[in-house]
Chain A
C-alpha cells in the first residue's frame, strides 16, 4: 500500500526515474567490471546524450530541424578548453593566441560554465533572424550555420589553432561526471518540455497559425528555446573536450552531426525517452560496426583498408527506420507509469500536423 502511494507520488517524475536509474546502474556496472575501452564508450555515450538532449529541447519541441547544434558544441568545447588549459600549455598548443587568452586560467567547472555561456551567447547573437523561418528554409539556414561555424573555427587560428589539432586539454571528465551531467540535462530537458515555454513551443509545432492566434510570440519562444538548447550543446561540448583532450574543428562537423541526428531520430525526437534510448541504440550499433571494421582491417581480410563501413551501415539503418517508423521508435510518447484513476493526459499521442503524418 505504501509502495503504491510512493509510486503515485512519484508518477509526475516517472519518466526521469525510468531513464535515470538504468543509467546509474549501467555506470556502476561499467565502473566495477568493464575494461578501459568500455568505460570510454560509455562515457562518450553519456556526453553524446547531453548533446542529443540539447537538440531535443529545440528540435523535438519546435518541430524545426536543427543542424547547427554540433557547431555550438564545438564553440563550447573550444571556449571551455581555452579557459582550463594552463598558460604554458596554451603557449605551445595555440602559438598565435591573443595575450589575454594566454593568461586566462580557470578550474574545470568554471571553464565548463564559460563554455556553456559562450555557446549560449553566440546563439543569442546570431540566431534571432533564423527563428522566423520554418520548414525547409529553417533547415537550409541552420545547415549553413553549421558550415559557417566550422569555417570560423578552422580559420580563427588565434583562438582555435586553426585546422590543426588542439592538444593538451586536461582530462577532467570522468564516467561519474558524465552520467551525473547527463541526468541533470535529462531533468532540465524534461522540465523544459513541461514548462510554460516548452508548452508554447510545442503548440507552435502542432499548429503554427492557431498558436500565434492565441497570442504566442512564436519567434521569441523559438529564440529562447534555441538559446537554451545551444547552451546545453556548449555544456556537452566542454565535457567532451575535457575527456577527448585533443581535437580539431573537423570533430564538430558533418559526421558528428549525422551521428547525433541519427541518435535523436531513431528514438523519436519528440520526447526525452526517445532521445535517451536512441543515443544508447546508435552507440551500440556504431561501436559494434566499428569493432567489425577494425577486425577486418587488423586481420587483413581484404586487400585494402575499409573506411566508412560504419557510416554506410548507420545511414542505411537510419533510412530503413525512417521508412518504417518516421516518428522514431517512441514517437511522441514517453516512458512513464501513471497513478490509478488518472487519465494519462500527457501521454496522448500528439497530432503532429505541422510535421505531416
Chain B
C-alpha cells in the first residue's frame, strides 16, 4: 500500500504549493508584477512565530494567528511604502523594486535578529503520526491538506460572492476598466497584498512546521516553488495557479521516487527541465484564459 501513503504526501505537498502559487498570482493578476518579496513574507511569519512564541506564554493557536497577521501587515506595508510609488512607472522598475524589498527584508532580519537559525516550538500535532487505513501518516500532512482545502474553498467563496472578490477578479481581467467603473485602485491593490500576505502567513505555519526553525533565507525555497507552479499552471488565472501548485507537488514527489539516489540532488534541475518542456509546448501554461491583455500602468 505504498501508493496510498504516496498519495497523501503528494496531495499534502500539492495543496500547500497550490496555496503558495495562489498568493503570488493574486498580485500578479492585477499588477502584472511578480513579487520577489513574497518568500520573505513567509520568513516574517516564521519570525513572528519565533518572537511571540519564545517571549510569551500564549497558546500556540494565538501565536499562529499573530504570525499570519504579521505577514499581512508587512505585505501591506511593502505595497504602501515601495510598490505604490513605482507601480505607475515601468514593469522592470517594479520587478527590481520587489527584488530590492526582498533583499531589504532578508538583510533586515539578518541585522535585527540573527544570521543563525532560530528554533521554533511547535504543538505536538506537528510531530505525531496517525494510522489511517493501516497506513501511518504524519498528522502534519493531514493538517496541511485540511487547512489548505478549507482556505481554498474560503477563497473561492470570497472571489465568487463578495464585492471585494468580484472587484479583485475584475481588476485582474482589466484593471483600467475596473477603475473606470468606480473601483478605487489603491483599495483593490492593497487588499490583494493583504490577502497575499494572509496566504503567505498560513503557508509559513506549515512550511516552518517541517523544519521547526527559521532563517533569514528561508523564503527562497517557497518563492521558487510558487514561481514554477505559476508558470506551469498559467500566470493569468487563479485556477491556473492552484492547478500548477498541485501539478508541481505531484511531479516533485514522482521525481523523488523515480530518480536514482545519485541524481536526487539535482531534483530542482529536473523540475526546471520539465518547466522548459511545458513552456515549449504550452507557453501560456496548462490553464488558458479566454481573456488576456497587455499590462497597463
The residues of A with any CB-CB pair to B shorter than 8 Å are 63, 65, 126, 129-130, 132-133, 135-137, 139-141, 143-145, 147-148, 151-152, 155, 254, 258, 261-262, 265, 269, 306-309, 311-312, 314-316, 318-319, 322-323, 326-327, 352, 355-357
Checking A258, A309, A327 against B111 with a beta-carbon cut-off of 8 angstroms, the contacting residue is: A309
A-side binding surface: helix, strand, loop or mixed? helix
Known A-B contacts A151-B269, A307-B111, A315-B100; A136 and B33 likewise in contact (beta carbons under 8 Å): yes
**Is B283 within 8 A of A326, CB to CB?**
no
A134 to chain B, nearest CB (A): 10
Q: Does B170 contact A (CB under 8 A)?
A: no
**Is A308 within 8 A of B276, CB to CB?**
no
11 contacts between A and B (CB under 8 A): A130-B276, A130-B279, A144-B224, A152-B266, A306-B111, A308-B106, A308-B107, A309-B107, A322-B89, A356-B295, A357-B90
Q: Which of B178-186, B225-233, B247-255 binds A?
A: B225-233
Q: Which of B65-73, B91-99, B124-132, B205-213 binds A?
A: B91-99
Known A-B contacts A135-B295, A144-B275, A318-B100; A326 and B90 likewise in contact (beta carbons under 8 Å): yes
Report how far A309 CA is from B279 CA in the complex, Å.
39
Checking B32, B90, B103 against A136 with a beta-carbon cut-off of 8 angstroms, the contacting residue is: B32
Within 8 A of A (CB), among B81-134: 82, 85-86, 88-93, 95-97, 99-101, 103-104, 106-108, 110-111, 115
**Is B104 within 8 A of A316, CB to CB?**
yes
**Is A136 within 8 A of B97, CB to CB?**
no
B90 to chain A, nearest CB (A): 4
B43 to chain A, nearest CB (A): 13
Instruction: Specify the chain A residue showing the minimal Cβ separation from B263.
Output: A155
Instruction: Specify the chain B residue showing the minimal Cβ separation from A304.
Output: B114
Checking A132, A152, A258, A352 against B90 with a beta-carbon cut-off of 8 angstroms, the contacting residue is: A352
Instruction: Specify the chain A residue showing the minimal Cβ separation from B270.
Output: A148
**Best-buried of B86, B88, B95, B297 by chain A (most CB within 10 Å):** B95
Report how far A155 CA is from B91 CA in the complex, Å.
34
Checking A265, A318, A326 against B89 with a beta-carbon cut-off of 8 angstroms, the contacting residue is: A326
Closest 5 CB pairs of A and B: A308-B107, A308-B110, A326-B93, A356-B90, A315-B104
**Is A356 within 8 A of B115, CB to CB?**
no
Q: Does B2 contact A (CB under 8 A)?
A: no
Instruction: Specify the chain B residue showing the minimal Cβ separation from A265.
Output: B96
**Is B224 within 8 A of A355, CB to CB?**
no
A234 to chain B, nearest CB (A): 19
Report how far A301 CA is from B269 CA in the complex, Å.
45
**Is A322 within 8 A of B266, CB to CB?**
no
Residues of chain A within 8 A (CB-CB) of B103 are 254, 258, 311, 314-315
Known A-B contacts A307-B110, A316-B104; A148 and B92 likewise in contact (beta carbons under 8 Å): no
Q: Does B155 contact A (CB under 8 A)?
A: no
Residues of chain A within 8 A (CB-CB) of B228 are 140, 144
Residues of chain A within 8 A (CB-CB) of B97 are 318-319, 322-323
Residues of chain B within 8 A (CB-CB) of A65 are 92, 95-96
**Is B107 within 8 A of A312, CB to CB?**
yes
Known A-B contacts A129-B276, A137-B235, A323-B85; A318 and B227 likewise in contact (beta carbons under 8 Å): no
Q: Does B34 contact A (CB under 8 A)?
A: yes
**Best-buried of A133, A147, A265 by chain B (most CB within 10 Å):** A147
Known A-B contacts A129-B276, A319-B82, A352-B90; A143 and B268 likewise in contact (beta carbons under 8 Å): no
Report how far A299 CA is from B162 CA in the complex, Å.
58
Q: Does B272 contact A (CB under 8 A)?
A: yes
Report how far A254 CA is from B105 CA in the complex, Å.
14
